[in-house]
Copies of this chain bind each other. A is one copy, B any other.
Amino acid sequence: MRNAFLRAALGALLLATLLPASPDAQTIADRYRATTDRIIAAALSDSAAYDRVALLTDKFGHRLSGSASLEQALDWIVDEMRRDGLANVRGEPVLVPRWVRGSESAELVEPRRVKLHMLGLGGSVATPPDGITAPVLVVTSFDELTARGDEARGKIVLFDVPFTNYGATVQYRSRGPVEAAKLGAVAVLIRSVASNSMQNPHTGATRYDTAVTRIPAAALGVEDAAMLHRMHARGERVVVTLKMEATTHPDAMSRNVVAELVGREKPEEIVVLGGHIDSWDVGQGAMDDAGGSVAAWEVLRVLKRLGLQPRRTIRVVLWTNEENGLRGATAYRDAHAAEIPRHMLAMESDGGVFAPEGFSVAGTADAVAMVTGLATLLESIGATRIAAGGAGADVGPLTAAGVPGLGLDVDGTRYFWYHHSEADTMDKLDPREVAQCVAAMAVMAYVVAEMPETIPRRAPR
């Protein structure tokens, strides 16, 4: 709170210094308040967004890159967008990786036989058909692995690392297999990257290094990892059999789905917003990120319903392959390279469509200050907290090219309870909160597409 205040104050000061001719952002906001109040009321007037997320995720389930369910969902979305009367509805081709989980299991065989709750990590190689049976070495950090390096050879290394924050803890999912393989480990298990657990393991992408042997890797339920750790700490011999049939196939064709509300005066200038339509191959991918995808899509429907056609084009993109490749985001950047200087804003929702709290701004201090002013329009839904930060993975290639970025920030209390697990399902979302997310994005998209001013850009990286 205090930081946000300081940032806002500093931003206002910079605006006053550097942009003396421009009305301040609060004044800009005030111009549109009557309209944005109508937008908010319209977004909150029904549960259309929630119902559409439910229909999509119930109808097609999870949607991993390369799967039939993803492509069927995309077909349906294109049809629905056309039925909504949106403009320039199309799929833009993207080649995506195709990793297929196959059958998989992990069993504790010593000191007693127990079927473990596991999910192979995305991109993992398979085990031999009979599996890998080996003693387990439990460590709680890369440092401990290094210290016990001579014990790792021939073992299954279990990283039982308590969740602190995603950025820190996910390192064990990403780098664990490489670091363990360097020391001669035969497979890797990780405690699921999760802030709460009911024996629901959490998958997610892992990485290999061409110079290091690729060893199979899987996540265990937090509970099972803790049990193996307790057994290990008692000095018991802990032996696990890991079986995974995971396969990587040739790249498959997918699409970014694009739809527009064409601008009335400057149609060539673009406010882009979206979420990623692919998901991991578990649960319904409802929170991550059907919710963000549909919320962005609903922004166009709400504006259209109100008969609002802003000065610039608002473009929705449902990016494909965020989870295990980011190919949709890079394909969009490449296909639209010439247009990037005319992208005035890139907005993303990929933190779950829970109660919105504000936005992270990928941009200059001036940009933060301007967004802080515009966000006063969101007071009625409590989404006014603006901070400098990343805007999201799919808009990353755009913000790196200088486009101001906004990432929707929400109440993240339970996000890592469900993330990448069977528990990422529709019932975790609330119709009112989803509608509030639509409202927050709709207001920002509308105002930035309508105002004569633009959000300051930064130099391309």
Contact = CB atoms under 8 A, between A and B. Distances in A.
A61 interface: yes
Contacts of A423: 197-199, 223
Given A198-B198, A200-B200, A425 B223 contact: yes
A387 B55 CA distance: 47
Number of copies of this chain that the complex holds: 2
Given A199-B283, A200-B198, A58 B418 contact: no
B59 A222 contact: no
A54 B230 contact: yes
Given A427-B222, A427-B226, A422 B58 contact: no
Interface in A159-200: 196-200
A89 interface: no
A426 interface: yes
A117 interface: yes
A423 to B, nearest CB: 4
Interface residues of A, number: 33
Contacts of A234: 55
B426 A226 contact: yes
Contact of A425 (B112, B199, B417): B199
Query: Which 3 A-B pairs have CB atoms at the shortest separation, nearest pair first?
Result: A198-B423, A198-B198, A223-B425
Interface of A: 54-55, 58-61, 111-112, 114, 117, 196-200, 221-223, 226-227, 230-231, 234, 283-284, 417-418, 421-423, 425-427
15 contacts: A59-B111, A60-B112, A61-B112, A117-B422, A197-B423, A198-B199, A198-B417, A198-B418, A198-B421, A198-B422, A198-B423, A199-B421, A200-B200, A223-B283, A227-B425
Given A198-B200, A226-B426, 19 more contacts: A55-B234, A58-B227, A58-B230, A59-B112, A61-B112, A196-B198, A197-B198, A197-B423, A198-B199, A198-B417, A198-B421, A198-B422, A198-B423, A199-B283, A199-B422, A223-B425, A226-B425, A227-B426, A230-B426
